[in-house]
Copies of this chain bind each other. A is one copy, B any other.
Amino acid sequence: MFTNCSSSTTSLQLRVGPTLLNHRSGIINLNRHNSVFFPGRSVRQLSLRTTASRSGHILSIRSSSDHAAMVFDEMAVALNIMDEIRVETSRMEKSISAVPGLAIILFGDSKSSKAYEVPGLMVGIKTLVVRLAEDSSEEEVLKYVSNFNDDPCVHGILVQSPLPSHMNDKNILNAVSVEKDVDGFHPLNIGLLAMRGREPFCVPRIPKGCIELLRWYNFEIKGKRAVVLGRSNTFGMPTALLLQREDATVTIIHSKTKNPEEITRQADIIISAVGQPNMVRGSWIKPGAVVINVGTSVVKDPSASYGFRMVGDICYEEVCKVASAITPDACGPSLLMAKAMLLSNTLTSAKRNHNFM
């Protein structure tokens, strides 16, 4: 199902302290930047609202249109989390002279190693990127994984996903030490995530990022009705398990669910990752619900710059009028949040390995 449900949100250019942000939702972190400057006309189109957050310092800036929902800013949250990681790695290095290490295996030339090395550098995590040819053998990858498993300086191992098609992802996923499985996809980590009284070594990154987002904005999860749309191993299922650990009452909606809108209408928290453009309409939402979009799809659009545009599972234009909080239009989880969670998992693994509290 695809319905045209594009947003009319204006892109705003905001000068925020020393940093120039070009961002739709406009949530900035006053902890890191002390002055706010709105150039010219834009200031009349904005309304300001402070939101109590974990650190009490997130400011929401909303356009003066009829949008009711507060718009999450994952970028700001991710930067805050990276700041916290930096403080912890610094404390760890000063206390026990140990630096968390992250090993990444990439294939081909498509991904820049800098995209991983720079965030690591920013927070004091040593990142080692191995780049293998697309046609590398599975054995070669397993050999690298085995070496990283044995390397005491490596606390997290990430293998690029999806893997080249000739490789068996189960073999490689199972070969990564559960303690260094910073993707959190090893079945043992998933099992420990599902079990009460047990702790997984690592939690999948995007699900963890969604929970962090709710926590940073002080949205209570305990006792709330939560609906996850999609039941993938990498997102829907672990997100449901995480919400359950936080004492939400969780329902997973999937392709065999009849009348999903009847279930979403009862939910206080909705997280969607199905890749169905604009599936979740305004009429599916209970007024005041918190809505997080994860699934995005590429949709043809001759009027767009490249002949296509990104569309989320959530029909932003409709849902933002009903929800109390929502992720920005047509956005999946930000790459920065995914990296912040990767670095957070690496730090946790290093602290556990060195018994550093």
Contacts and interface: CB of A to CB of B under 8 A. Distances in A.
Interface of A: 170, 186-198, 222-223, 231-233, 237, 241, 244, 247, 249-254, 256-258, 262-263, 266
A315 to B, nearest CB: 22
Contacts of A194: 187, 190-191, 194, 237, 241
Contacts of A250: 251-252
A256 B250 CA distance: 11
A186 B188 CA distance: 9
**Which 10 residue pairs are nearest across A and B when measured between Cβ atoms?**
A191-B191, A187-B191, A190-B191, A247-B256, A251-B251, A249-B257, A195-B233, A223-B256, A188-B188, A187-B192
B244 A231 contact: yes
10 contacts: A186-B191, A187-B191, A190-B194, A191-B193, A194-B241, A196-B232, A197-B233, A231-B244, A249-B254, A249-B257
A355 B218 CA distance: 53
A191 B200 CA distance: 11
Contacts of A262: 266
A197 B237 CA distance: 13
Given A189-B191, A256-B222, A196 B231 contact: yes
Nearest to A187: B191
Contacts of A190: 190-191, 194-195
Contact of A249 (B198, B237, B253): B253
A170 B241 CA distance: 20
A269 to B, nearest CB: 14
A84 to B, nearest CB: 28
Contacts of A192: 187, 191
A254 B224 CA distance: 12
Given A195-B233, A196-B232, A249 B251 contact: yes
Given A190-B191, A223-B256, A231-B244, A196 B249 contact: no
Nearest to A241: B194
Nearest to A227: B251
A203 to B, nearest CB: 13
Contacts of A263: 249
B254 A247 contact: yes
Contacts of A222: 256
A231 to B, nearest CB: 7
A272 to B, nearest CB: 15
Nearest to A185: B195
A258 B220 CA distance: 14
A328 to B, nearest CB: 29
A194 to B, nearest CB: 5
A193 B256 CA distance: 19
A70 to B, nearest CB: 24
Given A188-B188, A198-B233, 19 more contacts: A170-B198, A186-B191, A187-B191, A187-B194, A190-B190, A190-B194, A191-B191, A191-B192, A194-B194, A195-B233, A195-B237, A196-B233, A196-B237, A249-B251, A249-B252, A249-B258, A250-B251, A250-B252, A251-B251
